[in-house]
Structure 1
Amino acid sequence: MSKLIEKLMKRWGVESYGGLLLILVIFSLTGITVLYVRKFMFGWIGVNAETPILVEIVAWIIIVFPAYQVLLLLYGFILGQFEFVWNFEKKSLHRIKSLFVRGENTQP
């Protein structure tokens, strides 16, 4: 377990265990909160067990994904880790974008 913690600290550029714990708390709070947002919003728009999976996936992409991003930034700001979360978001969104867009230097 210690190797995992050290690897995360190195990868994220965190210098203390407290900083790592705070970042993990941010991710945890975001995940828990987005579950409540999903439940509320899906109930509000009528997504339920009978809803076709394609509609549910589209609703998830339109509602849950952006909510997670905003909540992550909000909790990062509140808990004093906005710079880390902002950089993490930029890297993550860049990786997602690269799945759909070819790089300028790639050959067809």
Structure 2
Amino acid sequence: MNRLKKRWNISSNWQLASILIVFAITGFSALQVAKPFLILIGIPETFQPHWLYRVLRLVLIFPFYQVLLVFIGFLFGQFTFFWNFEKKMLNRMKLGFIANFVDEKILKK
């Protein structure tokens, strides 16, 4: 636990617990949101070929996870931590321009 606290630059066990809870809720929520979204756009679970349905669902889970991570982090009072986490993740995937756009146009930093 101390390694995570040091790596993430947090001081309290409560903050660490809330961050871990946010990760858990976000992962589960992203899985749950992707399925009805596919149905909404006309791709039911019985879609054939089934492997394509699974691939589409996995592709959808990723952006839902990114948005939900920041939103649920905000609800738990950890917006700054999760926004910085998101920016670092996007930069590593060479998508940092998205974070820069949000910082400049939406958050106005």
Q: TM-score, normalised by structure 1?
A: 0.73
* 1:51 Cα deviation from its structure 2 partner: 2.7
| Long gaps (5+) in structure 1 | 99-108
Alpha-carbon offset, residue 80 of structure 1 = 0.6
Match of 1:91 in 2: 88
Task: List aligned pairs for 1:71-86, cutoff 5 A.
Answer: 71-86=68-83
Aligned-pair CA distance for 1:83 = 0.2
Using CA pairs under 8 Å that are at least 6 residues apart, name the structure with larger relative contact order, 1 or 2: 1
Pick the structure with greater CA Rg.
Answer: 1
Identity of matched residues, %: 41
| Structure 2 residue runs without a partner (length 5+) | 96-109
Cα RMSD, aligned residues only: 2.1
CA distance in 1, matches of 2:57, 2:28: 18
Does the alignment pair 1:7 with 2:3? yes
1:57 has 2:55 as partner? yes
Query: Following TM superposition, where does structure 1 have runs of at least 4 consecutive aligned residues deviating by more than 6 angstroms?
Result: none
Note the alpha carbon deviations across 1:37-92, whole angstroms, 9 max, x for none: 1221233423547335356435532x221111111111111111000000000111
The whole-number CA distance in structure 2 between the counterparts of 1:48 and 1:12 is: 42
The one of 32, 38, 41 aligned to 2:37: 41
- What number of residue pairs does the alignment pair up? 93
